[in-house]
Amino acid sequence: MYRTHNCGELCKKDIGKEVVLSGWIQKKRNLGSLCFIDIRDYFGITQLIFSKNLIEKFFLGKEFLIKIQGKVVERISKNNNIPTGEIEISVSQIEILNSSLPTPFTIENQTDGNEEIRMKYRYLDIRRNPIKNNLIIRHNLALEIRNFLSQNGFLEIETPVLINYTPEGARSFVVPSRTHVGKFYALAQSPQLFKQLLMIGGIDKYFQIVKCFRDEDARSDRQIEFTQIDCEMSFVEVDDVLIFFENFIKHLFRRIKNIQLESFPCISYSDAMKMYGTDSPDIRFGMPFIELNNLVQKKNISFLKEQELIIGIKVPKCHKNHDQMNSLFKKIENPNIFWIQYLSNKTLLSSNPDFFSEEIITIFINHFQAVPGDLLFISYGKRKNTRKTLGKVRLEIANHLNLKNSKIFKPLWVTDLPLLEWDERSKRYKSVHHPFTSPKKEDIHLLEKYPENIRSQSYDLIINGIEIGSGSIRIHNQNIQNLIFKHLGLSAKEIESEFGFFIKSFEYGTPPHGGIAFGLDRLINLLEGNDDIKNFIAFPKSNYGEDLMTKAPSFLKKEKLKELHLR
Ligand code: ASP
């Protein structure tokens, strides 16, 4: 028998029991006649006490796996930080189950190992509490998701991973076929078409916790292989989806974090751009843009008057010292931005005193109803760039002033994203969401002539400035779907060869349907206030898309390439 108990469960009520435990050596302290050893397993840590006579017979290093037999005794110096801190085991027998090399980094909560070495020996990293606990949280979250969706009538259905190549937005990984010479599969970027086909197949509500693959550069919030909570529902409109999934997200926050989220505000894409200069605004801090064009015209402020757009933000009560302010100003130095600082002693400072007189500065101060301590940033120029620039400045200020509290969660829906955007490089339209997204009913008349003006029935869930989910109501009309494909530059022949099966399915009574997919890795990362999704993935890829442990990707031998008809 390897154990009668695990290393995390023995306590005062077990004193006197004879037990067997197995675990890895975490720590060893030799006090001459006595030796203390902490052993660890998945469940916790237990302190062992050895007599000199017994311990002398063994060489025991860190991470040696040992099995011991002994008696539970009360500890003299108790450790209230761990559940087993009131007892220790007086060891009578010891067996080494496996020895260990010195580990390449310390297996402690705070480790000295850098990311590369931890990835290379990920199995050792997983022994550390922070990573192990993250995997437990991930499991608990997945369980809550499955329970909630199942209880609400969603059926979990697996869809294929090896599929046909379809242009879905990102680049696909391709897999050569051995049995079909010269042909390739693609790894699914998402189950999009299949979940829609499930709706056509009469499945009312579907979900899947599913691996998706996108051949993109990995980043701290993106992996080439990642997990989605993918959902689809029949007979729904935008509001049905938003209401249901707002409750879903609220439920997860309640269950996992014991946090009661407030109602999610809903703003259109165009308002998000106007108010925050981004389609994924962080609304933990205010500072929405104020448009100043009318003011500038009315007050006849030369130079600014000629600009396409003038917008500003007010940073209230910005009490920072001189050096901190200067470092902020330096960070956001930009010829199309100027700042006005209303100091506590009522002095007015500005970045361009030669250019904007005290009179003009006062106009802005009054317009923003600024009080001493406030800081204004004003951006001007071409519409799109001005918004983008001030959006970045807003985030930079929030970073600088520590306004991004990772314990506060502010979700919002951003809706009505444009259906298509013009891609200058390929000289054709691209879908903003994906080609199966339905246009808004009131914009359908623009489809032939003004496709870039069409808004879509789409929605993104943004939490703290991070896109956590994104979805849409789908096209269920064959003519509209064909027209969208045409706008995307697909010829009739290409539509037939790539999507023929899908277009065909529209001829068999396709129900109206819509759905959404959430990024599971990102959601956990956000819930836990972490800044790297790798910490919640058992075996993640590096930022260069490599598995540093198995060394994937790797070259194939000539014979293998030949077998796959690649040589
Ligand atoms: N398949 C979409 C995506 O991966 C999500 C959706 O529209 O449901 O972003």
pLDDT at position 353 over 80: no
Q: Would you say the CB of residue 471 lies under 6 angstroms from ligand 1?
A: yes
Q: Would you say the CB of residue 134 lies under 6 angstroms from ligand 1?
A: no
pLDDT at position 183 over 90: yes
Q: Say if residues 37 and 70 touch (Cβ distance below 8 Å).
A: no
pLDDT at position 218 over 80: no
* pLDDT band, very low/low/confident/very high, at 101 (cuts 50, 70, 90): very high
Q: Which of 187, 470, 522 most suits a substitution to test ligand 1, by most atoms within 8 Å of the C-beta?
A: 470
* pLDDT band, very low/low/confident/very high, at 234 (cuts 50, 70, 90): very high
Spatial neighbors of 130 by CB under 8 A, at least 6 apart, are: 109, 535
Q: Would you say the CB of residue 280 lies under 6 angstroms from ligand 1?
A: no
φ, ψ of residue 362 to 5 degrees: the values are -65, -35
**Nearest residue (CA) to ligand 1, atom 8:** 516
Q: Would you say the CB of residue 517 lies under 6 angstroms from ligand 1?
A: yes
Region 285-403: CATH code: 3.30.1360.30
pLDDT computed for residue 427 by the predictor: 86
Q: Which CATH number fits domain 132-266+412-536: 3.40.50.720, 2.70.170.10, 3.40.50.1220, 3.30.930.10?
A: 3.30.930.10
Cα–Cα dist 60/243, whole Å:
59
Burial class from Cβ neighbours inside 10 Å (0-12, 13-18, 19+) for residue 84 reads buried
User: What pTM was estimated for this model as a whole?
Assistant: 0.94
Fold of 12-98: OB fold (Dihydrolipoamide Acetyltransferase, E2P) (2.40.50)
- Ligand 1: atom nearest CA of 516 is 8
Q: Would you say the CB of residue 519 lies under 6 angstroms from ligand 1?
A: no
DSSP helix/strand/coil, 83: coil
Can you list the positions of beta strands (E) in 347-419?
A: 348-350, 375-381, 411-415
Segment 97-116 mean pLDDT? 96
Q: Write out the residue limits of the CATH 3.30.930.10 domain(s) in the chain.
A: 132-266+412-536
Q: Write out the residue limits of the CATH 2.40.50.140 domain(s) in the chain.
A: 12-98
Cα–Cα dist 243/41, whole Å:
43
100 alpha carbon to ligand 1 midpoint, in Å? 46
Q: Would you say the CB of residue 435 lies under 6 angstroms from ligand 1?
A: no
Q: Write out the residue limits of the CATH 3.30.1360.30 domain(s) in the chain.
A: 285-403
Share of the chain above pLDDT 90, in %: 83
Picking from 118, 138, 119, 114, the residue whose alpha carbon sits closest to that of residue 525 is 138
Q: Would you say the CB of residue 431 lies under 6 angstroms from ligand 1?
A: no
- Ligand 1: atom nearest CA of 515 is 8
pLDDT at position 222 over 90: no
